[in-house]
Amino acid sequence: MPPVTAVRTMPTTRKFQGEVRAPGVLSASAGWAVAYLLILAYYYSFIDYGLNLWDEGGFASGTLRTFRGEMAMRDFNPIGYLPGRYIYSSWFFDWFGVSLHSLRLSVAVLTPVMVLMVFAIARRVMSPGFSLLAAAMMMTAPGMYYNRFYPFFCVVSLFFLIRWLEKPGWARGLVLAGTIVLCVPFKTEVALFSAGLWAVLVPWRCREVIPGAEVPGKPAGRLSQGAALGLIGIGAACVLFYVWRYNVAEKFVEIVFTTRAVWGNPFPDLFPFVELWQQLGPDRMFERALFYFPLATYALVLVLLGWEKLAHRFGGQRRQAVLLATTGMGICAFGLVVWRAGFDNLIRTLPAFYILSAFVLYQAHIRLRAFLSGAGHNEKTPPWAPEKLLAAFLVALFPLIFFYEMTVGHGFYVGSAGALRENTERLEVDRMAVWTNPYEARWARDILKKIELVTEPGDAILALPLNPLFYFLTDRPNPIVHEWILPGMLDEAAQEAVVRQLLIQPPHLVILSDIAIDGREDRRFSRYAPKIHRYLRRHFQLWEKVGLFEVLLPVGPSGIPDVP
């Protein structure tokens, strides 16, 4: 018989391992790329549906001014918004032309990244199916285009924070620090609480040992450490200079503490539940309940972690790291709702809730299956068995209600495909071609016609309190430094400064909407900016009322408006 031939061992050199892994890496990268393109195609399918004549104009007008060389906080004052979003989106004006479509595209290309990162975070603590559930919730309601930078940077910061917690090292620390620095010109508050959360979790990470997370190889050399520290120092210096140069700290304190006193809203009531249900209906009641679900979920996750710690029943240090970081980010982000309890604000704070609610459902599903098995059932029970159908129904109940409400009960204002159903009338004007509701389309057409009738490009017009979209669409400049004026923004001295600006450059036409914001009489423009309102009433008179807007013209020599 021939001699026994020894089994040849496979080479284990690093080069060979790289060659073996390369196809898998390429396959995974291709999968992520395909997922990104599919999600982008989904958002692009309704990118031109919906219109907000109010808030969206601030994003559009500020980006156009930045595109032309101005700088937010230096040349104009977009209260609460920093130059980053305007600089970034102005690139899309350069590449695709000046239009609302280009502006929305600048946000749409970022949104799939947010969805995929939510899936990647969730996958660390739950099964693929429930991770997809978290990503689907994120995908269904990412928030409005012009306010999506807040959830985006929350998710990106959380993703890189978790990566650092899994494997602390100079490279990942530098990426996380760079992400936090990048947040500053977009969302300073996200940078602040991300840095704070990192600082809080560093001692915890130093105490805990995450299996398999030790940094392999020899420690980083002095040169690499010095380079990393140098880059972090340069970044910190740039941030400090930016904060000092544009007085960011003072403005941040003013917005958070001073403005909140007159601009904040209380949380919506849930009781008496039956009476409110009959009065408001199920859709509005779900909207109200959604204000309380995130905090309840964060509290439940913290209780679960505490119970595991006390009972010494650890689900894995990696899982603890992900859950602690996600809960911390969710609580910090929820401060936006505490500052002003509006539904638009709430949607922006929910990425962490999407992850943790899917985790809670995942845990409930595990325990429910265990209960059914203990009752005499086994894994061979067919999927259509009544007990399994009941378990699936109970676990899927909240997600199904959520998906229904976000796509049927809401649309444009949560960033969902429900915008296709809500907006049925085409509105095509210079720089904008969208589908919107009939009454907003009529208002926009009528006001734009009047602006074009009595003014020329370059003539100043004034649109208050929050309608800079008309500056963007007509190429008529804003004569004052403020893009909008909302409750709590201006004291008497600041109002007098605005009046002086109007005396220096009187507008040729004024668009005024003196509505009760949030249904509160003290939030009418005439109430919170009385000096500016008196000036406008004294020097301008009504030409025509269009929907919620008054179109005013300067008073002529005869004491009546100069109507063409």
Q: List pLDDT tens digits, range 378-390.
A: 556 666 666 667 7
Per-residue confidence band for 245, with pLDDT thresholds at 50, 70 and 90: low
Q: Of the candidates 105, 104, 248, which has an alpha carbon nearest to the alpha carbon of residue 183?
A: 248
Q: Is the pLDDT of residue 214 over 80?
A: no
Helix residue spans in 408-564 (DSSP H): 419-422, 438-454, 469-474, 492-504, 525-528, 530-539
Q: What is the mean pLDDT of residues 221-237?
A: 58
What is the model's pLDDT at position 10?
A: 40
Determine what percent of the chain is predicted with pLDDT higher than 90. Answer: 65
Cα(537)–Cα(162) distance, integer angstroms: 56
What is the model's pLDDT at position 369?
A: 77
The overall average pLDDT reported for the chain is 86
Of the spans 24-38, 239-253, 518-532, which averages the highest pLDDT? 518-532
Q: Is the pLDDT of residue 217 over 50?
A: no
CA distances from 175 to 179, 376, 388, 411, 527 (A): 6, 51, 44, 35, 48
Residue type, 348: R
Stronger pLDDT, 209 or 130, i.e. the higher one: 130
435 beta partners: 49, 426
Per-residue confidence band for 13, with pLDDT thresholds at 50, 70 and 90: very low
Cα(242)–Cα(249) distance, integer angstroms: 10
Q: What is the mean pLDDT of residues 275-298?
A: 94
Read off the DSSP letter of residue 493: H
Cα(315)–Cα(307) distance, integer angstroms: 11
Per-residue confidence band for 488, with pLDDT thresholds at 50, 70 and 90: confident
Q: Is the pLDDT of residue 251 over 70?
A: no
Q: Is the pLDDT of residue 20 over 50?
A: no
Q: Is the pLDDT of residue 3 over 60?
A: no
Question: Coil, strand or helix: which one is 55?
Answer: helix
Cα(217)–Cα(84) distance, integer angstroms: 38
Q: Rounded to two decimals, what is the model's pTM?
A: 0.86
Cα(244)–Cα(450) distance, integer angstroms: 43
Cα(323)–Cα(64) distance, integer angstroms: 41
Joined together, the tokens standing for residue 426 give: 């085409």
Residues 266 and 288 sit within 8 Å (Cβ to Cβ)? no
Per-residue confidence band for 27, with pLDDT thresholds at 50, 70 and 90: confident
Contacts 24+ apart (CB under 8 A), 532-539: 532/464, 532/485, 532/490, 532/495, 532/498, 532/499, 532/502, 535/499, 535/502, 536/462, 536/510, 536/512, 539/506
Strands 509-512 and 549-554: antiparallel
Per-residue confidence band for 374, with pLDDT thresholds at 50, 70 and 90: low
- Lowest mean pLDDT segment, chosen from 123-132, 520-529, 555-564: 555-564
Residues 66 and 82 sit within 8 Å (Cβ to Cβ)? no
Per-residue confidence band for 15, with pLDDT thresholds at 50, 70 and 90: very low
